[in-house]
Structure 1
Amino acid sequence: MQKKLLIFGISGPILTQQEKEFLSNHPISGFILFKRNIVSTAQLISLITELKNLYSNYKPIIFIDQEGGRVARLQPPIIDTKYPAAEYFAKLYHHDKALALQTVRANYTILMQDLKRLGIDSPCAPVADLRYPYTDAVIGDRSFGSDVQQLVDLCSAAIDGIANAGGIAIIKHIPGHGRATCDSHQELPIVTTALKDLMDTDFAVFQQLSKHPKIEWAMTAHIIFHALDSKAPVTLSNTAIEFIKQEIGFSGKLVSDDICMFALHSHLGINQTLTHKNLEELTNEQHKHLHQTFINSLIEVTHQSFAAGCHFVLHGSGHLPEMIAIYDAI
């Protein structure tokens, strides 16, 4: 059976029997790990080894969000080092550019070496989003700064470090998440900035990084840019993704950001956000109905992501009924 271009999360620190039966008979491209999957170093290596050996003819890619700072699924004592957020290197860049670039390269080399020892292939980094003082804190200190050239310099050094250690660098969130005034995990950001301004700022970063010889992957932003498509977020927009490929010049593999994020699910997403805050107010029947509606929306979003031009779709919840529904639908 041919593998499908899906990246799934799993539910916990071991593969359940149901997950094992489903996944071993339904090949996918990769897995993404979260804190819920990590208990100890030995347990994690065992889990990753099992995931890597699910299929006889290839090894699925193992991803994890390990940017440093507050987005780091791996923490001591699982690994030895608590890596700094991108903001640390941005501040260093202002004092000593050469030292900052050297430090970033070394940081991401060692970080990636940590991951490789565990069997992980990609840290889902670097974040290439510009930082703005008036926007949502979802990016914040994850950004390498607010200047285009500074971001390009520091991201390029991070890419070099990841690649030098044999890892897969992923620039995110193409074509730029920095102007979002809300968190796309919870609701859909809408950016009304003029195209020329975007091309001079957010898009310029990704345009330059797309030329980097060691960049082959990018992760899409769940954001509506009026300048590209006023109705659909980038992940679901053929117009926006064609722009990324043709005008920004990214020719590598595009992976969706997590399709479980409520930005992609319109009014249902808003309802889901509210539901997560008020679960105790729902009856079992209401919760079951809402979740089935969400599964139907996930199926639609999966179809739209592929139709728009994403090469891979990432689903991270680890909820098996969602995974089965998505797999069977494509």
Structure 2
Amino acid sequence: MIPAIFGCSGPSLTEKERAFFAKVKPAGFILFARNIESREQVAALTADMKKTVGRHKVAILIDQEGGRVQRMTAPHWRKYPPMAVFGDMARHDPTLAASALRLNCRLLADDLRRVGITVNCLPLLDVRQRNADPIIGDRAFSSDPQLVASFGKITIDALQAGGILPVIKHIPGHGRATVDSHLDLPVVDTPLATLDETDFAPFRALKDAAFGMTAHIIYSDIDAEKPATLSRLVIARIIRMRIGFSGLLMTDDLSMKALKGDIGTLASDSIKAGCDLVLHCNGDMAEMRSVAENLTAGDNSVEKRLATLIRNAEHAPVPDRADLKRRYEELMSRF
């Protein structure tokens, strides 16, 4: 197994993709809207992915946040609100907001589990800031670090109760970025002491999460030259030591324009910097080959950790979806 998570080009694996994935055996896959048509089709795709790499315990990821970022949509799946809705609700009724969020995430988890997805890239623990680029915006719970941490914990627990593994993102914090990292490289000049008190706080509170996803951001008071994804300083001193994150650390998508240079070199540099897994999302075969050629299988500790996490998640009981839906809609109707 190589420490890479790959996308694919469409709603089913092509023969070229199947042969490539069977050969390199990636740690997992990630799905996007281009891969989604119906429940039956997604279930068949995830089953084929597992069969192709010869492992049942495969990390199959998706960004199913709600709001602007929801890959599985109507008419086959319900539309979920952005996470800021629950943060706004908490200003009026914190108990109602917490209960509604918990049920929201249980329903999300049930949607994913039914089609063979094992990991949701949620929750965002980014602390929303004024004058930041809107790429985070209403995807974040709040500008209050304590509320972000509290609601992040609810999200993690609810997803895991539904058999889905969560990913905390974008560690150590994307809330201050003034440009969209999909398009360019953000630079945050905020002093370390301020970051430590605000942006880092939710990640520190939830440092025991199974997975974390890096931010493609330069924090100039820590490492003025390299973004967190490629920075040994940020990963070792901040993410691992100051924050104390002990889970599997994956990059954000290497094909985002915040990162410059050869995609294969970016992959190897991310691992050298301290990431456990690299994420490559666009399904471009030439780029995926370059990523694979620059990674080695190494020891099997990551594979064992992945298998254990997925095995444990599979033991979660199957919920009464109709009851979840009834209770959720009753709570949301009160806001």
Q: Which residue matches 1:20?
A: 18
Q: How many angstroms does 1:55 deviate by?
A: 2.8
Alignment size in residue pairs: 294
* In structure 2, distance between residues paired with 1:176 and 1:259: 17
2:165 aligned partner: 168
Question: How much has 1:24 moved relative to structure 2?
Answer: 1.2
Aligned to 2:69: 71
- Mapped to 2, the partners of 1:57 and 1:76 lie a distance apart of 31
Q: Assess if the C-alpha contact under 8 Å between 1:53 and 1:59 holds in 2.
A: no
For the residue of structure 1 that corresponds to 2:253, the secondary structure is coil
SS in 1 for 2:61: strand
Identity of paired residues, percent?
43
Alpha-carbon separation, structure 1, partners of 2:26 and 2:54:
12
Q: Is the 8 A contact 2:26 2:53 kept in 1?
A: no
C-alpha separation in 1, matches of 2:151 and 2:47: 33
TM-superposed deviation, 1:59: 3.2
Q: Which has the higher contact order (CA 8 A, sep 6+)?
A: 2
> Amino acid of the residue matched to residue 155 of structure 1?
G
Rounded to whole Å, the distance in 1 between the matches of 2:87 and 2:40 is: 35
CA–CA separation in structure 2 for the residues paired with 1:116 and 1:94: 32
Give the Cα–Cα distance (whole angstroms) in 2 for the partners of residues 55 and 23 of structure 1.
6
Name the aligned partner's letter for residue 246 of structure 1: M
Q: Distance in 1 between matches of 2:288 and 2:53?
A: 18
Tell whether 2:259 aligns with 1:264. Answer: yes
Partners of 1:11 and 1:36 within 8 A in 2: yes
Structure 2, unaligned stretches of length 5 or more?
296-335
- TM-score w.r.t. the length of structure 1 is 0.87
Equivalent in 289, 292, 298 of residue 327 of structure 1? 292
TM-superposed deviation, 1:133: 2.1
For 1:142-153, list aligned pairs within 5 A. Answer: 142-153=139-150
**Cα offset, 1:52, TM superposition:** 1.5
Shift of 1:100: 1.1
Structure 2 residue matching 1:228: 3-state secondary structure: coil
Is 2:77 aligned against 1:112?
Answer: no
Distance 2:55 2:165 in 1: 21
For the residues of structure 2 that align with 1:56 and 1:37, how far apart are their CA atoms?
21
* C-alpha distance in structure 2 between counterparts of 1:43 and 1:58, whole Å: 18
Q: Deviations for 1:141-180, whole angstroms, at most 9, x for unmatched residues?
A: 0000000111111111111110111111111000000000
8 Å Cα contact 2:101-2:154 kept in structure 1: yes
TM-score by length of 2: 0.86
Separation (CA, whole Å) in 2 of partners of 1:55 and 1:191: 40
Q: Is 1:241 the counterpart of 2:241 in the alignment?
A: no
Moved beyond 6 Å, runs of 4+: none
SS in 2 for 1:39: coil
Match of 1:288 in 2: none
Q: In the TM superposition, what are the counterparts of 1:126-165 in structure 2 within 5 Å?
A: 126-165=123-162
